Amino acid sequence: MNEDELRAALAKIDDPAGSGDLISSGRASGIVARAETRGFVLDLGGLSAEAAAKLKRAVELAAPGARIITTSEAPPPKPPAPPRQPHEQPAPDLSHLGRIVAVASGKGGVGKSTVAANLAVALAQSGLRVGLLDCDIYGPSVPTLLGAKARASGQQGRIEPLEAHGLKLLSIANLTPPDQAVIWRGPMAAAAMMQMLTDGDWGTLDVMILDMPPGTGDIQLSLAQKVKPAGAVIVSTPQDLALIDAEKAIAMFAKVDVPVLGLIENMSTFVCPHCGERSDIFGHGGAKETSAARRIPFLGAVPLTMALRAASDAGTPAVYSDGEAGDALRQAAAALREKLEEPDHAADE
């Protein structure tokens, strides 16, 4: 079934809210059909549980094998109204997830996922109930970093997060076969992330860490708008290029009124595993300067070490070890916890 055929099949189904068919009413959107992958977003907003289940069955029959991302945030289907802007949509109730912290970077490859995973484990070690959602749909790395690659189970539309290192975690890699590349466009990717947040059986958490996709594009903006995190942590290397992109990430969160809780400099200094000599491969101290210039707390500098790379590849968080990188990550987690416990942020709970 190609994209046109998929669209035609969906256009044959009436919108249960009585406003045309699923395509003309916008209830089915984000249609993708490429190679072996096809899927779309199905909005169940405004429908009773019974009507939603009936519609889902009809859609599954009309588009067999398609991946259906369900959401319930549609503008009311009737009467026709101008489409709502994302910031006008009702926010889902995520209060059981505690304080949500988005760990972001403007640039890819700066070690954002490594930092996010280690912060999450360190916060769990400090006694908090922690969740970690890998929002990088195109390059999920949390399952590797934490050695949690099993398939997540689920029933009746709920998803059971995996448990590892004292926290709960979920990644698109826990939901899709390992060899299947995800090719969704922005809106679908953001909807999939929201679904993992809202349909995950996370229980009651103190902190939910979001490992954001790298960059400052539509997916990042849409997630930040919908989730409204209590704050963001920006990860950057000290390199000018990375810092310029980090500034873009700071600006993006400012645009959606999400406070930046701090900046972490990663790959700060290279520590030679043989002689212990220190070299500033990407420069040094740039993130601290940016923090000062932007009046953003500086949460710490994590060195570039062989031990951290090896621990990440082995799925063993560096915060378990006494190495320099592990120490720095534990200190950054403690500094983040302090920020979260400041009255301004604690009030977001």
Beta-ladder partners of 154: 159
Supply the minimum distance, in Å, between the C-beta of residue 314 and ligand ATP. Answer: 10
Q: How far is 180 from 34, CA to CA, in rounded Å?
A: 12
Residue 228 burial (CB count, 10 A) = 17
Minimum distance of ligand ATP from residue 253's CB (angstroms): 17
Q: Which is nearer to ligand ATP, 51 or 314 (CB)?
A: 314
Edge-to-edge strand ranges of the sheet holding 67-71: 28-34, 37-43, 67-71
Give the Cα separation of 152 and 228 in Å (integer).
26
Considering the complex, state which of residue 266 and residue 291 has its C-beta at the smaller distance from ligand ATP.
266
| Closest by Cα among 130, 97, 132 to 337 | 130
**CB 138, min distance to ligand ATP, A:** 8
- The token pair at 87 is 């910031």
Least spacing, CB of residue 285 vs ligand ATP, in Å: 15
Backbone dihedral region for residue 53 (phi beyond 0: left; psi -120 to 50: alpha; all else: beta): alpha
Closest approach of ligand ATP to the CB of residue 66, in Å: 27
Kindly tell me which of 215 and 231 has the beta carbon lying closer to ligand ATP. Answer: 215
Q: Which of 294, 118, 127 is nearest to 209 (CA)?
A: 118
Nearer to ligand ATP, 73 or 136 (CB): 136
Distance CA 100, CA 189 (A): 19
- Residue closer to ligand ATP by CB (options 52, 104) is 104
Residue 108 or 166: which CB sits closer to ligand ATP? 108
**Binding annotation for ATP:** 106-113
Judged by the rule CB under 6 A, the positions of this chain that interact with ligand ATP are 105, 108-114, 136, 139, 141, 214, 266-267, 302, 304-305, 308-309, 312, 325
CB of 273 to ligand ATP, least distance (A): 11
CA distance 233 to 133: 15
C-alpha pair distances (Å), 164 with each of 142, 193, 291, 320? 11, 20, 33, 13
| Cβ closest to ligand ATP, residue 69 vs residue 328 | 328
Give the containing element (helix H, strand E) for 34.
Answer: strand 28-34
Shorter beta-carbon distance to ligand ATP: residue 77 or 215: 215
**DSSP codes joined into one string, 323-334:** SHHHHHHHHHHH
| Least spacing, CB of residue 45 vs ligand ATP, in Å | 31
Report the nearest approach of ligand ATP to the CB of residue 270 (Å).
8
Distances (CA, A) of 168 to 69, 78, 126, 162: 22, 39, 15, 6
Let me know: does 152 contact 140? Beta carbons within 8 Å.
no
Rounded Cα gap, residues 145 and 207, in angstroms? 19
